[in-house]
Amino acid sequence: MLITKLSRSTLASIVTRPMTKRCYAAAANSEPVKKTALYDFHVKHGGKMVPFAGYAMPVQYANMGMLASHHHTREKASIFDVSHMLQSRLTGKDRNKFFETLVVADLQNLPVGQGTLSVFTNEQGGIIDDTIVMQHQDSLYVVSNAGCAEKDLAHIRKHLAEFQKKGGEVEFNVITDHSLIAIQGPKAAAALETLVGQSLADFSFMHGKHMEVAGVPCHIARSGYTGEDGFELSVPTEEIVAVTEKLLAHPDVEMAGLGARDSLRLEAGLCLYGNDLDETTTPVEAGLTWTIPKSRRETGGFLGAEHILPQIKGGVSRRRIGLIVEGAPARGGAEILNKEGEVIGTVTSGCPSPILKKNIAIGYVKNGSHKKGTELDVKVRNKIQKAVVTKMPFVESNYHK
């Protein structure tokens, strides 16, 4: 049954998925596991805690399995603890100029209150991490991956010191006094409106603002990692439990864990760093060329531009694709073959889709085998299974317009 496959194999793949460069790898037994400010809250509510990106995080809750949690998010709304993510802020008159040397976004022309998905790149054009950057009147608000925090901080601080030595006016600070939760699903806005006391209909997708939630000053961004409408709330840590409890009191809201988060983001065709993205993968190969605006393509100025920009015009040797796979689910590391039996790529993420009731996967294949409808094979447990290239997202997104 699909529910058995999702509950058992998804849990195993989240915690043990073999990726040598994975920033999200589960912490080794010898490594101390950190706790978010919601740890006791999770335990109280029946959270099954597992090590993830160096933190103890809930993979699911006692009152709802991963499959049911997935459907609940698609139909109503779920809260995810994402406090393990790295939140930071840049200030100073040269903040946009500095950060544009590290990410591919056009921050100089990003309107106040608007955000964008971007990537940190290295000198070879590989992706160091993916990140959300939000423009505010006097600062940039940045959210990046927990498992990549150490290398992200080292990278930023190294280049910051060089920029400041040349007279650049910018300050960079990690936000340590706020926790982060996401409420996702078609009922997310209605639930949040009860705590902000106003309509959120005019709050556009990928925009952010400072608002009070149940009387608590918070930063709210209309964004998420599920393909659904939703919000990410940066809340003072001393208030995070109270705010989460009040959101959870809404009849349409439940808690959700890593299991549902992974299957939701896969249906949405969204990348997981360390699986679908790494430092050997460029934005063009990853299908993220759209994150590089026209102005940046013309001027460059970011690390690895001399490698990335020619790829936009000249093409790449491999491309990220979506697959529908027959038979057993194809997990990260499974070989992708053409009909002549030649290995042409690798699956990087995969799971059964609760909505489609089919097995879906993300992977990379040689250029030319990436077109929609191309019939391929995937090797799963030494068995050859049929697969077909399909467009992503696998399930239509429901972002607020």
Q: State the binding site for substrate.
A: 232
Give SS3 for 234: strand
92 φψ region: left (φ > 0), alpha (ψ -120 to 50), beta (else): left
CA angle 33, 233, 247 (to 5 degrees): 95
Residues that constitute the known binding site: 232
Q: What is the largest CA-CA distance in the chain?
A: 63
d(CA 250, CA 246): 7
d(CA 89, CA 140): 6
d(CA 232, CA 229): 11
Helix (H) or strand (E) holding 376: strand 375-380
d(CA 230, CA 223): 6
Amino acid at 290: W
Q: For residue 121, give the nearest of 383, 281, 353, 303 by alpha carbon.
A: 303
